[in-house]
């Protein structure tokens, strides 16, 4: 999952970025309103964490413009403003959630994860397909009840695919959603991770869980297909 | 205490004056009526006496006497009269007798009281000649005393005065009613203004005086004064509110940073190096919270504290010394930024600021200039004096200040759009503190862009002590 952090306060952005990366999210940081808007319009983010007082363009205006242009990325607003009215106004102008400063880092992370889930149309933090169970909170993967040891990147790929069952996900999309923009993008890396994932998840004699569609990308098989 | 009513006072005053004029009118009416009625009365009295004199006729007797023949005269039953001839023979008198003693002896008209009743008497004399045709005739000197009761005259006088009195009283009553109504109506704009003013509260300070009040000449100054006073109050309330909310925002952000640094460190077990680095960052963040709080407190102190020091003496300091000290203090920073600092002090004076505030002012301006100076440039400070004030200028050779920011540069927490002060560690309070210090000392501060590039800050501080004393003190210092 890749999120956009729009925050002008460098130290806060640094801390939040590091915290998000440590839980396995790819983070892009925008230090001001216009940059934030430009990045948000790319449509590659699974959630946006938005500060309100930004140089160049206020968070509120940014949010309103995004929503007007039908960009539906979940937005969590960080606000230091007082008062119920501004919160109501915020939610009405398209924010999905808000947190007032000073916030609890754990709460922020939980809320960002929830925002990502809801953005994908999922309410349960435990994702299931066939006999695979992915716990997004504990970051564990179970296959037929047995714990499978996956690397963080493999986990993120699997999590992303699980959020989009039956859809064909291209390598480009995976790259966009798994890595920050500072990362060197190599589709070979994705291929290697997918291959590792297959090896760890698939038991012999069964259809592979992750299906490769040549020149198009990857797709998760649903239960029926897997047991057929 | 019962409030005084202007309406009542005015109405009462008008009514009192009206009542007084009513009294005067009634008195004048009495005098006038009395005069005219008695004048007519006297004419009538004389007429009656004359006709009685005319009724004295020849008696046709041998002695050529005269008699009073009242036949053909109008009967005035209540009148008193007595007609005598020169021998004091009574020719005739009224039915009622025994009044003669009371009647006046002199000629002319006079008023007399008989048996508790007012009478007016006239005494006239006439000559009656009997048989003038024969031998010169016999002349008789006749005197007539005639009295008429005056009761009905007074009655008439009072009747006509009563008419005036009643008319005036009705007019008085009508005036009272009309005045009350008119006053109430006339004061309607005042009540409207009051009603509008009653709606004011701390949350709602926007006030526009009703049109009716503004169109009333007497209420216009009050309406306008209220409007402008409330507008000023509203503005300062808003400013205060914004300052509070900005301060809260600032503090919350700083606390959020410090908290997130700690929580980030606690997210998972880390190596000793990571902990060490993390702790260092936490300390930095903490220092930042501290600085923000410190500056907020400094601003609050400068803005709201008494201008006099604790020992009751007026705050004062030598400005040149403070400038020099602040230059010393920022020497390290200037070296780090590779900026030269030059002072050109052509004057010195004692100004009315506490020394620590003066230092804060100089240091803030100097650090600001240093922060915006490119490496290798020079910051020039100058101290000069005019008749009333010391003028301190700080010039840098930086890129100057964005025109859009110039108007807001002294607002608390204001930062230019590129948020550069935040990055460079400022809280956005430095210049607000400077302004508060200058204004408290009765001076001023201004910042402008120089034509040749860079910014210039100009501070004017009123001189507290005359130049002679300064010069002396400077010389002493130099000797030492």
Using the 3D structure, point to which of A54, A88, A119 is the last residue of a domain.
Answer: A119
Using the 3D structure, point to which of A72, A103, A119 is the last residue of a domain.
Answer: A119
Nearest to A157 by CA among A137, A181, A134: A134
Do both A112 and A88 map to the same domain? yes
B261 touches chain A (CB under 8 A): yes
Quick one: how many helices (H) and strands (E) in chain A? 9, 11
Taking the C-alpha atoms of residue B329 and residue B349, their distance in angstroms, rounded to an integer, is 21
Do both A7 and A115 map to the same domain? yes
> Cα dist. A72→A42, A116, A156, A172 in Å?
12, 11, 22, 20
Instruction: Supply the pLDDT for residue A143.
Output: 84
| Tokens 């970051």 sit on residue | A139
| DSSP helix/strand/coil, B19 | helix
B249 touches chain A (CB under 8 A): yes
B270 touches chain A (CB under 8 A): no
Chain B partners within 8 Å of A103 (Cβ):
256, 259-260
- Compute φ and ψ for B251, nearest 5 degrees: -65, -45
Chain A partners within 8 Å of B261 (Cβ):
11, 15
Do both A90 and A115 map to the same domain? yes
| Tokens 């508060």 sit on residue | B436
Is this prediction's pTM over 0.80?
A: no
Which CATH number goes with the domain that contains A174?
1.10.10.10
Do both A91 and A8 map to the same domain? yes
Instruction: Supply the pLDDT for residue B271.
Output: 92
Do both A71 and A175 map to the same domain? no
Do both A115 and A133 map to the same domain? no
Chain A partners within 8 Å of B282 (Cβ):
none
Q: How far is A80 from chain B (nearest CA, A)?
A: 5
Do both A142 and A114 map to the same domain? no
Chain B partners within 8 Å of A22 (Cβ):
264, 267-268
Answer whether A196's CB lies under 8 Å from A154's CB: yes
**Cα atoms in the 13 Å half-sphere on the side-chain side of B329:** 15
Chain A partners within 8 Å of B421 (Cβ):
none
Instruction: Supply the pLDDT for residue A22.
Output: 87
Instruction: Supply the pLDDT for residue B1.
Output: 65
| DSSP helix/strand/coil, A94 | coil
Answer whether B150's CB lies under 8 Å from B111's CB: yes
Enumerate the β-bridge partners of residue B164. none
Do both A18 and A110 map to the same domain? yes
Query: Cis bond leading into A17, ω under 30°?
Result: no
Taking the C-alpha atoms of residue A171 and residue B473, their distance in angstroms, rounded to an integer, is 81
Which CATH number goes with the domain that contains A29?
3.40.50.2300
Do both A6 and A115 map to the same domain? yes
Tokens of B122: 């006239």
Q: Is A11 exposed, middle or buried (0-12, 13-18, 19+ CB in 10 A)?
A: buried
Inspect the interface and report whether the beta carbons of A104 and B263 lie closer than 8 Å. Answer: yes
- Rounded (to 5) percent helix, strand, coil in chain A: 40, 20, 35
Inspect the interface and report whether the beta carbons of A101 and B267 lie closer than 8 Å. Answer: no
Answer whether A193's CB lies under 8 Å from A143's CB: no
Do both A140 and A191 map to the same domain? yes
B338 touches chain A (CB under 8 A): no
Instruction: Supply the pLDDT for residue B175.
Output: 87
> Cα dist. A211→A161, A164, A216, B55 in Å?
11, 13, 11, 163
Enumerate the β-bridge partners of residue A51. A78
Instruction: Give the best residue of B255, B256, B292, B416 to mutate against chain A (max A CB count within 10 A).
Output: B256
- Considering only the C-alpha atoms of chain B, give the largest distance between any 2 of them, rounded to a whole number of Å: 176
Enumerate the β-bridge partners of residue A26. A2
Answer whether A128's CB lies under 8 Å from A15's CB: no
> Cα dist. B209→B184, B192, B198 in Å?
19, 9, 12
| Number of compact structural domains in chain A | 2
Do both A22 and A109 map to the same domain? yes
Instruction: Supply the pLDDT for residue B391.
Output: 92
Tokens of B160: 């006509």
Nearest to B426 by CA among B437, B442, B440, B413: B413
Which range marks the domain in which residue A186 is found?
126-227
Inspect the interface and report whether the beta carbons of A80 and B256 lie closer than 8 Å. Answer: yes
- Along the 480 residues of chain B, how does pLDDT read in single tens digits? 677 887 888 888 888 998 899 889 889 988 998 999 989 999 998 998 888 888 888 777 777 778 888 777 777 777 888 888 888 888 888 877 777 777 777 778 888 888 788 888 888 888 888 777 767 677 888 888 888 888 888 888 888 888 888 988 898 889 889 988 988 888 888 888 888 888 888 777 788 888 888 888 888 898 899 889 988 988 888 888 888 888 888 888 889 999 999 999 988 888 999 999 999 999 989 998 998 898 888 888 888 765 554 555 677 888 888 899 999 988 898 999 899 999 988 888 888 888 888 898 999 999 889 988 898 999 999 998 888 889 999 999 888 888 888 888 888 887 665 444 455 556 778 888 899 889 888 889 999 988 888 899 999 998 887 544 444 444 444 443
Instruction: Supply the pLDDT for residue B476.
Output: 42
B475 alpha carbon, distance to own chain's centre: 55
Taking the C-alpha atoms of residue B247 and residue B240, their distance in angstroms, rounded to an integer, is 10
B422 touches chain A (CB under 8 A): yes
Using the 3D structure, point to which of A78, A100, A119 is the last residue of a domain.
Answer: A119
Nearest to B289 by CA among B254, B329, B265: B254
Residues of chain A with pLDDT under 50: 224-228
B467 touches chain A (CB under 8 A): no
Instruction: Supply the pLDDT for residue A63.
Output: 92
Do both A90 and A134 map to the same domain? no
């Amino acid at each position: 999952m890749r999120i956009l952090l729009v925050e002008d306060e460098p130290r806060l952005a640094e801390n939040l970025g590091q915290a998000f990366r440590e839980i396995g999210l790819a983070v892009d940081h925008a230090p001001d309103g216009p940059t934030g808007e430009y990045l948000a319009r790319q449509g590659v983010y699974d959630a946006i964490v938005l500060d309100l007082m930004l140089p160049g363009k206020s968070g509120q205006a940014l949010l309103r413009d995004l929503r007007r242009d039908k960009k539906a990325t979940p937005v969590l607003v960080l606000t230091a403003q007082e008062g119920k009215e501004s919160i109501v106004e915020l939610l009405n102008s398209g924010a999905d959630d808000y947190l007032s400063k000073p916030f609890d880092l754990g709460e922020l992370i939980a809320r960002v994860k929830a925002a990502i889930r809801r953005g994908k149309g999922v309410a349960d933090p435990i994702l299931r397909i066939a006999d695979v169970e992915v716990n997004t909170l504990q970051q564990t993967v179970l296959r037929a009840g047995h714990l499978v040891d996956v690397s963080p990147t493999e986990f993120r790929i699997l999590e992303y695919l699980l959020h989009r069952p039956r859809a064909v996900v291209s390598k480009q999309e995976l790259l966009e959603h798994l890595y920050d923009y500072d990362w060197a993008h190599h589709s070979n890396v994705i291929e290697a991770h997918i291959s590792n994932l297959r090896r760890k998840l698939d038991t012999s004699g069964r259809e592979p869980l992750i299906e490769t569609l040549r020149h198009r990308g990857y797709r998760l098989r649903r239960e029926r297909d897997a047991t057929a | 205490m019962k409030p005084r009513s202007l309406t009542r006072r005015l109405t009462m005053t008008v009514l009192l004056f009206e009542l007084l004029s009513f009294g005067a009118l009634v008195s004048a009416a009495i005098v006038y009526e009395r005069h005219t009625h008695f004048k007519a009365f006297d004419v009538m009295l004389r007429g009656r006496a004359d006709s009685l004199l005319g009724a004295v006729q020849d008696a046709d007797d041998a002695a050529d006497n005269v008699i009073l023949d009242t036949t053909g005269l109008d009967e005035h039953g209540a009148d008193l009269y007595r007609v005598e001839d020169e021998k004091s023979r009574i020719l005739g008198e009224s039915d009622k007798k025994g009044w003669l003693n009371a009647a006046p002896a002199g000629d002319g008209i006079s008023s007399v009281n008989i048996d508790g009743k007012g009478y007016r008497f006239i005494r006239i004399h006439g000559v009656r000649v009997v048989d003038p045709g024969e031998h010169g005739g016999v002349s008789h000197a006749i005197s007539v005393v005639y009295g008429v009761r005056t009761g009905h005259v007074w009655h008439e006088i009072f009747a006509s005065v009563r008419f005036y009195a009643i008319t005036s009283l009705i007019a008085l009553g009508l005036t009272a009613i009309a005045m009350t109504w008119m006053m109430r109506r006339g004061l309607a704009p005042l009540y409207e203004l009051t009603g509008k003013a009653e709606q004011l509260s701390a949350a709602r300070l926007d006030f526009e005086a009703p049109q009716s009040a503004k169109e009333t000449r007497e209420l216009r100054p009050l309406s306008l004064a209220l409007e402008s006073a409330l507008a000023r109050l509203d503005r300062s309330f808003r400013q205060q509110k914004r300052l509070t909310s900005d301060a809260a925002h600032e503090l919350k952000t700083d606390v959020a940073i410090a908290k997130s640094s700690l929580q980030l460190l606690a997210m998972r077990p880390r190596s000793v190096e990571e902990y060490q680095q993390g702790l260092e960052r936490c300390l930095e963040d903490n220092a930042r919270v501290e600085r923000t709080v410190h500056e907020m407190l400094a601003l609050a102190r400068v803005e709201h504290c008494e201008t006099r020091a604790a020992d009751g003496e007026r705050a004062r300091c030598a400005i040149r010394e403070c400038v020099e000290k602040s230059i010393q203090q920022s020497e390290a920073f200037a070296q780090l930024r590779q900026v030269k600092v030059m002072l050109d002090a052509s004057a010195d004076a004692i100004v009315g600021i506490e020394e620590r505030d003066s230092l804060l002012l100089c240091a803030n301006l100097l650090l600001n200039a240093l922060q915006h100076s490119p490496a290798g440039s020079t910051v020039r400070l100058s101290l000069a004096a005019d008749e009333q004030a010391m003028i301190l200028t700080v010039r840098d050779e930086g890129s100057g200040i964005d025109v859009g920011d110039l108007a807001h540069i002294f607002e608390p927490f204001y930062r230019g759009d590129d948020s550069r002060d935040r990055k460079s560690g400022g809280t956005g309070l430095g210049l607000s503190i400077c302004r508060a210090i200058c204004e408290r000392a009765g001076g001023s501060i201004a910042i402008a862009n120089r034509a040749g590039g860079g910014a210039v800050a100009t501070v004017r501080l009123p001189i507290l002590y005359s130049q002679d004393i300064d010069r002396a003190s400077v010389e002493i210092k130099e000797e030492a």
